[in-house]
A and B are shown apart, each in its own frame.
Chain A
Amino acid sequence: MSQQMFDTLLGWAMTRPMFDLLLKGLWETIYMTAASGALSFVIGLPLALVLVTTDKGGIFQNLLVNRSLGWVVNALRSVPFIILLVAAIPLTRWLVGTAIGVTAAIVPLTLAAAPYYARVAEVSLREVDRALIDAARAMGATRMTILREVLVPEALPGLVSGFTVTMVTLIGASAMAGAVGAGGLGDIAIRYGHQRFETTIMVAVVVILIVMVSIMQWAGDALARRIDHRQG
């Protein structure tokens, strides 16, 4: 952004360094949320599929797997995020090489969001009518075909809505990751807005977060509506 443009648009509210700081924080937040969101989806959806299909009456019924996995997911979900941040440090160091910084924060964020999304997705998958699965079985579909052609596509609107909720939660959680030096908007809000009483920064961060969450929610709703053919 040119200096002149900045002066006209935002000069009344903040200084240029302040703006650059916020911009950097915004990108860091987007990076953390997007990366951990993507990972949570890639890990959480299969977890949800396993949770649903190994349960009683599921197409891969295996109660031992189901109960064990359910227990792990519950355990992860019951750890407060701030504790998880610290507890995950050894794992983060092993995976990323360092426990400090934006990339490092992706590990605890994913650890928190993947089980969360697994549970949210599980609800949508369970809502798929059993009769549809029976219909596919009656056609001679293999179990993998049932997952691919029936379970996931039929649950997709719910899976998308659930993912939106997860992303919004991640935006909030990423702010806490500032505690391990992860940067991002949350970190700025704490260091500048809270600890130095810079009200302008605090207000700016909150406004940016509100806009981010709104855009996220709007895009998620729009996508879910677009792929939902359950009503004519």
Chain B
Amino acid sequence: MAETDHQMDAGTGAATGADRPVVQLENVTRRFSDRPALDDISLQLGRGEIVGLIGRSGAGKSTLIRCLNGLDRPQGGRVVIDGTDISQLSEQALNPVRRRIGMIFQHFNLLSAKTVADNVALPLKIAGMPRPERMRRVMELLDLVGLADKAAAYPAQLSGGQKQRIGIARALAPKPLLLLSDEATSALDPETTQSILALLKDVNRQLDVTILMITHEMEVVRQIAHRVLVLDAGRIVEEGPVARVLASPQTETTRSLLRGLSPVLPGDLLALIRPQPGQGDQALIRVDVYGPDARRPLLAQIEAITGHPARLLHGGLNDVQGEPYGRLFLGLGSSDPAHVAAVAAQLKPQTTAIEVLGYVPANV
């Protein structure tokens, strides 16, 4: 995979300009007194990518994101931001790098004493932009997030979703090349989450800014990320295109994070499953599908093999950035071992996983 080859050319400094990764971590380690928070993390973010970093609380997500702008320092390894290794930089030397990284937070972290406009203007003020230019840019940004009419309001007068929009406007003010999102939607209701994710997607497209989204919600990753990194106990345990990871998670951590997102058999069906076929039973199989294969006429294919009508007992398709994926529980209409084996063999190439779960009555 291309993403893992980066360690080769990083040392030579060959990558420049647009090809240069925006973020590159090499063997980053961060230990707190009692436990390792980051354990030998290597990763790379390209320009314009949206990457989801998912893990349970305590997995090290926040520590990782804080290492990217020097709010936290790794004890080992390199943190390279757009070609600059920041792991050894002094606080002062870090500041120019930080001004190219926007950050949004779960609890927004807006300054209560400043108006919305002054909040958005702060990073520009820090960067030394003169006031008239600053005010012009602020209005541009408030327009972008759809809150131009709130310029004179104070954050306490806004709703959660509006506060996060201001947070995003503030983070984008200095035209960053990287936007870090630390559980930015976790404090918002589902509807507001949708609108914030849509805004981030928009921003990513319009401004070509790389976005790293930290979250514990796979749903957020599904909706917006191109690529996902799964973090567990300070290690990246799984990595890949979101659709691939959602369709066929390779680790238990990923599977448990996916729970609730992928369908599971309802209790009444589960109770009927027998390990051995009884009289008049049919085999129950679970099929995970992804991509164009997900839309094949599976039921008709099965019927052609077994001669019995197959049924969809549970499950369905969802989509990740236009790619369908899903999990289907199918009743084969037959319990004949030869039929079951033939179905498994023929469907295998067009599924990411196929498993015979047992046998249920034909008339469930």
Contacts and interface: CB of A to CB of B under 8 A. Distances in A.
Interface of A: 129, 131-132, 134-143, 145, 149-150, 153-154, 156, 227, 229-232
A136 B114 CA distance: 13
7 contacts: A132-B109, A134-B109, A135-B109, A140-B95, A153-B114, A154-B112, A227-B113
Interface residues of B, number: 31
Q: Point out which of B91, B105, B112, B126 has the most chain A C-beta atoms below 10 A from its C-beta.
A: B112
Interface string B84-103: 00000001101111110101
Contacts of B157: 232
Chain B: interface secondary structure? mixed
B69 interface: yes
Contacts of B96: 140
A153 B111 contact: yes
B123 interface: yes
Nearest to A153: B113
B122 interface: yes
Q: Which 10 A-B pairs have the closest CB atoms?
A: A140-B98, A140-B99, A140-B95, A153-B113, A135-B109, A229-B154, A232-B156, A232-B157, A139-B123, A138-B103
B123 A134 contact: no
Contacts of B126: 136, 139-142, 145, 149
Q: Point out which of A132, A143, A154, A231 has the most chain B C-beta atoms below 10 A from its C-beta.
A: A132
A140 B98 CA distance: 5
B128 to A, nearest CB: 11
A135 B184 CA distance: 13
A138 B154 contact: no
Contacts of B105: 131, 135
Contacts of A154: 111-113
Contacts of A156: 113
B125 interface: yes
B92 A142 contact: yes
B113 A138 contact: no
B107 interface: yes
B107 A138 contact: no
A231 B113 CA distance: 10
A143 B94 CA distance: 12
B71 interface: yes
Contact of A142 (B95, B155, B156, B158): B95
B127 interface: yes
A142 to B, nearest CB: 7
A138 B69 contact: yes
A231 B157 CA distance: 7
Contacts of B92: 142
A114 to B, nearest CB: 25
Contacts of A153: 111, 113-114
Contacts of B69: 138
Contact of A230 (B94, B101, B156): B156
B111 A232 contact: no
Contacts of A230: 112, 156
A231 B156 contact: yes
Nearest to A152: B113
Nearest to A155: B113
B123 A150 contact: no
Given A131-B107, A232-B156, 18 more contacts: A134-B109, A135-B103, A135-B109, A136-B126, A138-B69, A138-B71, A139-B123, A139-B126, A140-B94, A140-B99, A140-B127, A141-B122, A143-B91, A149-B114, A150-B111, A153-B114, A154-B111, A154-B113
Q: Point out which of B92, B97, B109, B125 has the most chain A C-beta atoms below 10 A from its C-beta.
A: B109
A149 to B, nearest CB: 6
Nearest to B170: A139
A135 to B, nearest CB: 4
A230 B112 CA distance: 5
A139 B122 contact: yes
B215 to A, nearest CB: 18
A204 B91 CA distance: 60
B175 to A, nearest CB: 13
Nearest to A229: B154
